[in-house]
Amino acid sequence: MYAIFKHSGKQYKVSVGDILKLDRFSAQAKSTVEVNEVLAVCDKELKVGSPYVANAKVVLEVINDGKDKKVIIFKKRRRKDSKLKRGFRRQFTRVVVKDIKA
């Protein structure tokens, strides 16, 4: 069984027990979060919503918050003596999928 859900503008395909890194949101560790924006659920047959599947939800448990590895953005314009180096670390919330209800 798997589900496809939407969180903060991105879509994720998950099964029970999967561990995900979602964009950081405010939640305490060991708390549960229910996502109601489920786009599709497949148990024995595929149910696709328009846009969301009715009465479907994905239950997530928050593990912790953190920062990813640094991503370097380097732009160079040839023969212009112009270059730009920037970097950032994406903040995430690590969650585990506890249940898929359809």
Q: Which domain holds residue 33?
A: 2-101
> How sure is the predictor about 102, in pLDDT bands with cuts at 50, 70 and 90?
confident
- C-alpha–C-alpha distance, residues 77 and 79, integer Å: 7
Across the beta sheet with 82-101, what order do the strands follow?
A: 19-23, 82-101, 57-77, 32-35
Collapsed DSSP state (helix, strand, coil) of residue 49: coil
Q: What is the chain's Cα-based Rg?
A: 18
| Longest pairwise C-alpha distance within the chain | 60
pLDDT digits (tens, 9 = 90+) for 49-91: 999 999 999 999 999 999 999 999 999 999 999 999 999 999 9
pLDDT digits (tens, 9 = 90+) for 1-28: 999 999 999 999 999 999 999 999 999 9
- Looking at the structure of the chain, the number of domains it has is 1
- C-alpha–C-alpha distance, residues 80 and 19, integer Å: 46
Rounded to the nearest integer, the mean pLDDT of the chain is 96
